[in-house]
Amino acid sequence: MTIIIDAVSIPDGKHATIELTKTGDRSGLIKVDGQSFNLTNIRTSSDGLGLTCDGPLGATVTCSIHSSTPQSNPFISVDIRSFFFHSTKNYQITPEDQQRLVEFVRQSFPPAIS
């Protein structure tokens, strides 16, 4: 199962594609900004708005889906942390893609974060 989301990076406004693929019960692949990361030990929030997992070289990858507010459109935050590297990037998405992404996370991976 794969979901592809068109996004716009915040704050530079560049088009981006975020692709999330389920490859196993708690494993997957994320492609963002032209980079691919194998994900293992995927843990999700029960509401489908968060996903935390292990990435390559001991990295921790966290994806958080933020709902729209009167001041902002929905966006996804991708945070990658390791001993050597730390990057957090935000991407604006449409409300429809937010809903599709939340459903994908809920259906693809069992919840483990309270």
Spans of all domains in the chain: 2-113
* Percent of the chain residues past pLDDT 90, beyond the cut: 56
pLDDT tier, 32 (very low <50, low <70, confident <90, very high otherwise): confident
pLDDT tier, 113 (very low <50, low <70, confident <90, very high otherwise): low
Is 71 a residue whose pLDDT tops 90?
no
Token output for 48: 């489908």
Q: pLDDT digits over 33-51, tens only?
A: 788 889 999 999 888 889 9
Q: Which residue has the tokens 């693929």?
A: 21
Residue whose C-alpha is closest to residue 91's, from 30, 18, 21, 2: 18
Q: Which residue has the tokens 């991708």?
A: 78
Q: pLDDT digits over 9-20, tens only?
A: 998 999 999 999
Is 64 a residue whose pLDDT tops 70?
yes
Phi, psi (5° rounding) for residue 104? -60, -45
Q: Higher model confidence: residue 29 or residue 70?
A: 29
State pTM to two decimals.
0.87
On whether the CB atoms of residues 48 and 63 are closer than 8 A, the answer is no
